[in-house]
């Protein structure tokens, strides 16, 4: 399948009836060749989808979008590596917001997509580095589309169909997603870091709102998200004063 409305993302689309993981397949491709930038690997049946830090991504067969995109963002300065995460998260956020324009759509740090307080999308970015430069990047995206029943182990899921009652043709959504990804990636390539930073904070879930957080050891505290560091750490200002930086999985929001 080919994507006609973009310059490069989705021009080559490798669609499979079923794959254990599109990111794993992309890794295997990169290990033995150099696919053209923007190559998309997609499937609607992915039984072994992966999330952040070893977590799993549940996806009912033939109900959701699961795909990976291969990029070569070697133009990024090392200090701006997290900007790729911001651009991709914003692209997927805008894609979802275009389909449910009456709903608040947020980026939950670092790159989950929420509709209100409900998670609708997960993103897994796997970078290969050489001297702090990203030589290749696999962008894994899982979006809940037509799934309406979820495991009880998933605390706050949603889908496009749950949000607006519509059923979608999955294949027709891929070109639109590719357009949003390419538009944001080109902004990144043009060096629009300040604009991307501001836009990311504008859509950041619970930014500058008084929130109850929990550390990995179970301790809780009140604070406000004050920003994100250049390296991607979440910055939280404590209510009693002082700012603290957290890496992925070191802190969570109590009650989402």
In this prediction, residues 101-129 reach a mean pLDDT of: 96
State the pLDDT confidence band at 140, using cuts at 50, 70 and 90.
very high
What pLDDT digit, counting tens, does each position of 86-97 carry?
999 999 999 999
Average pLDDT over residues 50-79: 83
Q: Which fold has domain 211-253?
A: SH3 type barrels. (2.30.30)
- Give the model's pLDDT for residue 1: 47
- Listed in order, the ranges of the chain carrying CATH 3.30.930.10 are 13-202
Which residues pair with residue 40 across a beta bridge? Answer: 13, 69
pLDDT band at 53 (very low <50, low <70, confident <90, very high): very low
Residue 49 has pLDDT above 60, yes or no: no
In what order do the strands lie in the sheet containing 112-115?
13-16, 40-43, 65-71, 133-143, 118-130, 112-115, 105-108
In the chain, which segments carry CATH 2.30.30?
Answer: 211-253
Interval 50-75 mean pLDDT = 82
Superfamily designation of domain 13-202? Bira Bifunctional Protein; Domain 2 (3.30.930.10)
Please tell me whether the overall predicted TM-score, pTM, comes out greater than 0.85 for this model: yes
**C-alpha to C-alpha distance for 176 and 244, rounded to whole angstroms:** 38
Place of tokens 């295997």: 28
Q: What is the mean pLDDT of residues 67-72?
A: 98
| pLDDT, tens digit (0-9, with 9 covering 90-100), for 177-233 | 999 999 999 999 999 999 999 999 999 999 999 999 999 999 999 999 999 999 999
- How far apart CA 3 and CA 6 sit, in angstroms, is 7
CB under 8 Å to 115, separation ≥6 — which residues?
96, 100, 103, 104, 105, 106, 158, 163
Task: Work out the percent of the chain whose per-residue pLDDT is above 70.
Answer: 94
Backbone angles phi, psi at 55, to 5 degrees: -75, 165
Mean pLDDT of the chain: 93
Using the predicted structure, report yes or no on whether residue 76 has a pLDDT greater than 90.
yes
Tell me the torsion sign for CA atoms 20, 173, 124, 163: negative
What's the rounded mean pLDDT across residues 27-41?
97
């Amino acid at each position: 399948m080919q994507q006609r409305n973009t310059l490069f993302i989705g021009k080559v689309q490798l669609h499979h009836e079923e794959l254990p993981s599109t990111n794993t397949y992309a890794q295997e491709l990169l290990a033995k060749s150099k696919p053209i930038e923007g190559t998309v690997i997609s499937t609607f049946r992915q039984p072994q989808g992966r999330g952040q830090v070893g977590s799993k991504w549940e996806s009912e067969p033939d109900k959701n979008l699961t795909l990976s995109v291969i990029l070569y963002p070697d133009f990024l300065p090392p200090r701006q590596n997290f900007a790729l995460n911001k651009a991709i998260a914003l692209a997927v956020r805008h894609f979802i917001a275009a389909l449910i324009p009456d709903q608040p759509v947020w980026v939950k740090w670092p790159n989950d997509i929420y509709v209100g307080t409900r998670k609708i999308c997960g993103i897994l970015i796997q970078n290969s580095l050489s001297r702090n430069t990203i030589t290749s990047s696999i962008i894994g995206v899982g979006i809940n589309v037509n799934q309406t029943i979820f495991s009880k182990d998933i605390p706050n899921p949603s889908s496009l169909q749950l949000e607006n009652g519509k059923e979608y043709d999955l294949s027709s959504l891929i070109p639109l997603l590719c357009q949003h990804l390419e538009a944001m990636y080109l902004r990144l390539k043009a060096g629009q870091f300040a604009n991307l930073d501001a836009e990311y904070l504008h859509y950041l879930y619970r930014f500058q709102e008084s929130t109850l957080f929990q550390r990995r050891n179970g301790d809780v505290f009140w604070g406000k998200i004050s920003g994100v560091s250049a390296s991607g750490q979440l910055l939280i200002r404590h209510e009693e004063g002082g700012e603290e930086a957290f890496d992925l999985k070191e802190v969570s929001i109590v009650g989402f």
